[in-house]
Amino acid sequence: MFFVLSKILQYVLMPVVWLTVLIVMIMIVKKPKLRRNLFIAAAAILLFFSNPFFANVFMGAWEVKTTAKSELKPHYDYGILLTGMLSYDSKYNRINFWRSSDRLLQTLDLYYDGTIGKIFITGGSGEVFNQTQKEAAILKDYLLHIGVASEDIVIETQSRNTRENALESAKILRPETNNNSYLLITSAFHMRRSAGCFRKAGFEFDVYVTDRYAGPPSLKPDHSIIPKASALQQWTLLIHEVSGYLVYKIMGYC
């Protein structure tokens, strides 16, 4: 039930959904004053959430600071890679990688330079109705295809969200019974919630963030004044992650 409710909340909190509701209300409301107020609210939401400067500043405040390789330990037994980076096109038998696939690229870099010994991939399917395509299994096949040794890949495919990532990973890696070292690898915007869940599950680890969205604030027109659809998308991601983190905190998951 929590999994389904979290998916519903994800859509309710999207700025584009708020805009759609306001536009529909503007079309059906008869009172001129109320219609004007709704139009002002819609315009304000659109201008604020499409502004790239605000999106960059708020995302930068949320994202976890990048860790340089020089700040890491010389070696970790496992790099724990969180999924949520692809979809699988069964028609063409092809993986469609998303922007967050930087998680995978950075993991491979750490693996091939010897920073991590094994790649542990956590994640099944995050979809409500389709639980057949398990992302960790898809990624394992991909890694084998590009030459990663099979003995260096460990997966779990049962988890559907960040909390379950941590719980299911703990069942396999059993951090409380060994002295293995772990490096947690996920997107900068997702690291707060991920780290909280994995600590709650009994892991001790260092973190390595990937695919940062925020950069240095800029007052150039195309970064501060001109509206961008990408800013709306960035806000959607940020609101989803912050709300998810708060819900997890309230529930005691992280």
Q: In the chain, what are the domain boundaries? A: 2-63+227-242, 69-210
pLDDT 10s digits, 216-233: 988 888 888 899 999 999
- In contact, 183 and 206? CB cutoff 8 Å: yes
Question: Which residue would you say has higher pLDDT here, 221 or 107?
Answer: 107
Q: State how far the Cα of 144 lies from the Cα of 161, in Å rounded to an integer.
A: 25
Q: Is the predicted pLDDT of residue 107 greater than 90, yes or no?
A: yes
| Torsion sign, CA atoms 194, 81, 177, 114 | negative
Q: Which residue has the higher pLDDT, 19 or 5?
A: 19
The separation between CA 104 and the C-alpha centre of its own chain, rounded to angstroms, equals: 13
Q: Which helix (H) or strand (E) holds 156?
A: strand 153-156
Cα separation, 32 vs 37, whole angstroms? 9
Confidence of residue 29 (pLDDT cuts 50, 70, 90): very high
Q: Give mean pLDDT, residues 138-153.
A: 97
What's the pLDDT at 3?
57
Its CATH architecture, for the domain 69-210, is 3-Layer(aba) Sandwich (3.40)
Instruction: Describe the crossing of helices 229-251 and 52-62 by its angle, rounded to 10 degrees.
Output: 30
Are 84 and 135 contacting, i.e. CB atoms less than 8 angstroms apart? Answer: yes
Indicate if the pLDDT at residue 1 is higher than 70. no
Tell me: pLDDT of 87 over 60: yes
pTM of the shown model: 0.91
How far, in Å, CA of 203 to CA of 222, rounded? 43
